């Protein structure tokens, strides 16, 4: 997945006050879309240090924290050990390089992850394969911002285009909305975050 090297360097100082606040807003937004999730399995895809997934632990029966960065995975492992959290696991894996044929989940959520993925359609297709029938993919990311001209990431996404892509892959009942607008939250620019829910 894109930018793994950068996240390797950021792992030790990733948990800033701003990121913790955004993670809380993100997990609250995700929680609105959960249905009878207490007996369901979840994957925090591109989990980083687990800021979003840790907020949602009590909402699921089990959770897998997945990231391409070994240092990020080490950080979440430290948190799991320190907090003595049951029913969680970790996996360091790059879905852009190979598929996850033996892994399945009822819910997959990815928060500000898609903008780091080069081949968006490939990864969303592989996540579709990971989902159990009736399972949900929840995406939280930035709305497209033409003022941002990044070299390493997408400058956000147009919700309608993302919905069209998900429908093409086979997802159904896709819905999205903007839920937060903040100051200087995306590469020093004011930006807004959307949440998108889709089902297999």
What's the rounded Cα separation, in Å, for the pair 131 and 180? 27
In which domain, by residue range, is 108 found? Answer: 4-199
Which residues, including other chains, have CB under 8 Å from residue 162's CB and lie 6 or more apart? 139, 176, 196
- Give 117-176 pLDDT, tens digit per residue: 999 999 999 999 999 999 999 999 999 998 888 777 899 999 999 999 999 999 999 999
106 contacts: CB under 8 Å, gap ≥ 6 = 37, 40, 41, 42, 131, 132, 134, 135, 136
How many structural domains comprise the chain? 1
Give the separation between CA 16 and CA 149, rounded to whole angstroms.
24
Per residue in 28-52, pLDDT (tens digit) is 999 999 999 999 999 999 999 999 9
Q: What is the mean pLDDT of the chain?
A: 90
Could you tell me the CATH number of the domain that includes residue 96? 3.40.50.150
Q: Looking at residues 2-26, what average pLDDT do you find?
A: 67
Burial class (CB in 10 A: 0-12, 13-18, 19+), 32: exposed
């Amino acid at each position: 997945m894109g930018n793994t090297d950068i996240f390797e360097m950021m792992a030790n100082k990733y948990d800033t006050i701003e990121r913790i606040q955004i993670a809380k807003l993100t997990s609250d937004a995700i929680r609105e879309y959960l249905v009878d999730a207490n007996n369901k399995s979840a994957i925090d895809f591109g989990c980083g240090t687990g800021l979003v997934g840790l907020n949602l632990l009590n909402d699921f029966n089990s959770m897998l924290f997945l990231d391409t960065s070994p240092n990020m995975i080490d950080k979440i492992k430290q948190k799991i050990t320190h907090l003595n959290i049951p029913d969680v696991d970790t996996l360091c894996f790059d879905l852009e390089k190979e598929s996850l044929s033996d892994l399945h989940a009822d819910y997959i959520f990815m928060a500000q992850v898609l903008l780091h993925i080069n081949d968006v359609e490939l990864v969303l297709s592989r996540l579709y394969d990971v989902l159990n029938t009736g399972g949900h993919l929840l995406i939280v990311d930035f709305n497209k911002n033409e003022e941002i001209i990044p070299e390493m990431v997408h400058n956000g996404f147009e919700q309608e285009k993302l919905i069209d892509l998900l429908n093409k892959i086979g997802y159904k009942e896709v819905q999205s909305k903007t839920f937060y607008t903040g100051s200087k939250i995306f590469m020093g620019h004011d930006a807004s975050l959307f949440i998108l829910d889709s089902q297999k």
